[in-house]
Chain A
């Protein structure tokens, strides 16, 4: 008998889903879709594409071509893997017209738009190579632990840490240049 607070793992829900349980599929979606959509938003900068990616991840998961194998890794890692591939596909198609600010709440938006440095930093983030952007988004924007991120992007914890430090150094350098330019213009 399972306790009332028992939370089925992603993999258990996946097995139920494969046997036709729509409820299991819905629970998986509720659990993973928001973070996947935020991840896609940070990676692409487009709310519409982010929504499309999070949708497509689950379409691929339920489809006949889904290749998830429990023995090879976690379902979460598999889902992020699909999302990362889709992000690359969309990035290859070129820049998108809309901006990330469209996705945010009006009050927060005002704060973001008011901070030009943050906007510029956001653009810089999207220009980073994928391997650096992945870790910034997952570690610093999604606040995942190094161990989680290592599992998600399937590399050693040490690699995650070193990539993050390198990515932050790149962003910090960019931020410094942005602030220097802002000071010059305002002077």
Chain B
């Protein structure tokens, strides 16, 4: 048995806290280097066992686990709603609210039919236009384009809705009214197929 083979077996023997077999003992009796190595390995194992015993009590603090579980719960919530979705959802909500809110507002106001060159729907307070060229379509009729709305496309159908608005709101949209007026102003609102108001004018059919 060579020293190399003996050393490998001695290491395993020391790790397992066993005793060398007869063959190893015979080799060590004749080899001082392997005898020394055996003694060193035995002592090393004793020290490592002490280190192991010392560290066996080491465990994460309870607070760590609780904090981690909170982080997990928070992560799961944010995972369901990706961060990029929030601005998108907010923008969509604003647009939707503007459209619905405006329609609802229109419905709650007193409506009157508008004199127009286009066809009227019997008994309705809306008139349907087909845009041939916008905004020129309305420009001649004192319409003011509503800010921040995309232009309507040629051929798009426009509903003309008659309603009333507070002067201050009209002034903020660029309609030439005195914002200090106290009474609501009758207006015609051009609403596109997207449900958004695109142009507005003071109605002459009060």
Residues on A lying within 8 angstroms of B by beta carbon are 20, 22, 25-26, 29-30, 33-34, 37-38, 41-42, 47, 50-51, 54-55, 58-59, 62-64, 103-105, 108-109, 111-112, 115, 117-118, 121-122, 136, 139-143, 164-165, 168, 171-173, 175-176, 179
Contacts and interface: CB of A to CB of B under 8 A. Distances in A.
B50 A34 contact: no
Contact of A143 (B40, B52, B67): B52
Contacts of B43: 172, 175, 179
A18 to B, nearest CB: 10
B13 to A, nearest CB: 12
B64 A55 contact: yes
A62 B55 contact: no
B68 A118 contact: no
Given A51-B60, A117-B47, A25 B55 contact: no
B164 to A, nearest CB: 52
B47 A55 contact: no
Nearest to A19: B76
Chain A CB within 10 A, most for which of B45, B50, B72: B72
B8 interface: yes
A146 B71 CA distance: 35
A37 B59 contact: yes
B51 interface: yes
B44 interface: yes
Interface residues of B, number: 35
Interface of B: 7-8, 11, 15, 37, 40-41, 43-45, 47-48, 50-61, 64-65, 67-69, 71-73, 75-76, 79
A37 B64 CA distance: 12
13 contacts: A26-B65, A33-B59, A33-B64, A34-B58, A34-B60, A59-B68, A103-B58, A109-B54, A115-B50, A171-B44, A172-B40, A172-B41, A179-B43
B72 A51 contact: no
B36 to A, nearest CB: 8
B47 A175 contact: yes
B55 A41 contact: yes
A62 B79 CA distance: 11
Contacts of B55: 38, 41-42, 103-104, 141
Contacts of B50: 111-112, 115, 118
Contacts of B79: 20, 64
Contact of A62 (B15, B61, B75): B75
A173 B44 CA distance: 10
B75 A55 contact: no
B61 A51 contact: yes
A141 B50 CA distance: 9
Contacts of A142: 52
A159 B113 CA distance: 91
Chain A CB within 10 A, most for which of B41, B44, B58, B64: B58
A22 B64 contact: no
Nearest to A36: B60
Contact of A165 (B11, B51, B57): B11
Contacts of B11: 164-165, 168
Contacts of A139: 15
Contact of A140 (B48, B54, B69): B48
Nearest to B79: A64
Contacts of A62: 71-72, 75
A34 B68 CA distance: 14
B109 to A, nearest CB: 48
Contacts of B41: 168, 172
